[in-house]
Amino acid sequence: MKKTMKLMFALLVSASVSGHLHASQWSEVDNLIGQSQDVVDILDEGYRRIAGAGALVGTSIVGDDMLTGTFSYSNFGVIDYRQTLMDSGTLADYNNAMLAVENSTYSVSVQEYLNGQYIKSQEEFDAAIDTYVAAASIFAKAVKVNELAAAASASDNIQDARALQDYITNNNLGITSIMQDQYNTSIGDVEDAVQLYSAVAILKEDSTTVASIQSDADAASRDYIYADDAIYDGQAKTLAWGFTGPSGQTQYDMTRSVDMSAYVTNNLSTIRSAGTNDDFYNDGPTQNSCFFATAAELADPSNACYNGG
């Protein structure tokens, strides 16, 4: 008998709950983990013994009570017990633990919602940056082309000109319209992602506004466990989110919007100045003289790009 058992109890009792659980709620969940594990252990032992009995057909006959009996054994010096029959005590504890979780009230505050949105928007920003870097890689090689071309022009040396020619030939540097579109799209996506990321980051630290939103939610019995992902509107300069609440609960038929215009900057100098000392810029292809260093150069103590590797 070769059947694979998939233990589903752990999945059943570990359903995701958004937001923060209070200490008593964590205690209830922790208790359910232990009580459900007892049921899982019994179930696992039953499947294992039945599998063994089936595998032995034709060579051995299992004795009486070998599938139904409770047996003890030494587990690293500790006496442990294995049973296959579901006993009333174990099931009562399991049912009570599930009931305690079922009857608990799980809720999400405005602050907890924004904290979660901050993590999500940060991940989306990081992903957008990764996409931009990948799309920019072919254009980054223009830095090397520029460097080699300048060297060839300054030296008036045929060998430098050949080095430039070889670099172009060996690296397939032609730019296509697809590459152009991917790059331009990616930088636009970064703009969208960073706007949302920054808006959430600012709002979650604005205790006065958060408290006001929470007060409004409390008055309307509106739980932020039902809040949808936040969206930033660059034209309106607002951070907004809707709700997907339980059917018939009209307090969720609304959209909450927060004016973020006071934080918007259209000053290019401010943006460029902030970027000047940022690692993303200084480690990039236009500023990092070792960006194109080979592995051998990075590992060579005599090379200016040696990184200690």
Is residue 195 within 8 A of residue 121, CB to CB? The reply is no
Cα 80 from Cα 250, distance rounded (Å)? 54
Residue with more model confidence, 23 or 119: 119
CA 272 from chain centre, in angstroms, equals 29
pTM metric for this prediction: 0.70
Residue 178 pLDDT greater than 80, yes or no: yes
Contacts of 153 (CB under 8 A, 6+ apart): none
Residue with more model confidence, 74 or 57: 57
Residue 7 pLDDT greater than 50, yes or no: no
In the chain, count H helices and then E strands.
10, 5
234-273 pLDDT tens trace: 999 999 999 999 999 999 999 999 999 999 999 999 999 9
How many C-beta atoms lie closer than 10 Å to residue 182's C-beta? Answer: 17
Pull the structure tokens for residue 128: 């957008």
- What pLDDT score was predicted for residue 9? 34
Residue 96 pLDDT greater than 90, yes or no: yes
114-162 pLDDT tens trace: 999 999 999 999 999 999 999 999 888 888 888 888 888 888 888 888 8
Residue 6 pLDDT greater than 90, yes or no: no
Residue range 10-27: mean pLDDT, rounded: 47
Residue range 281-299: mean pLDDT, rounded: 88
Residue 307: helix, strand or coil by DSSP?
coil
Tell me how far CA of residue 64 lies from CA of 54, 61, 164, in angstroms. Answer: 15, 9, 84
Q: What's at 38, amino acid-wise?
A: D
Residue range 156-169: mean pLDDT, rounded: 86
- What pLDDT score was predicted for residue 54? 96
- What pLDDT score was predicted for residue 255? 97
- What pLDDT score was predicted for residue 181? 96
- What pLDDT score was predicted for residue 3? 35
| Residue recorded with tokens 């958004």 | 18
In the chain, the percentage of residues whose pLDDT exceeds 90 is 65
In the chain, the percentage of residues whose pLDDT exceeds 70 is 92
Closest to 86 measured CA to CA, from 64, 68, 111: 68
Is residue 124 within 8 A of residue 197, CB to CB? The reply is yes
Cα 201 from Cα 121, distance rounded (Å)? 9
Residue 24 pLDDT greater than 60, yes or no: no
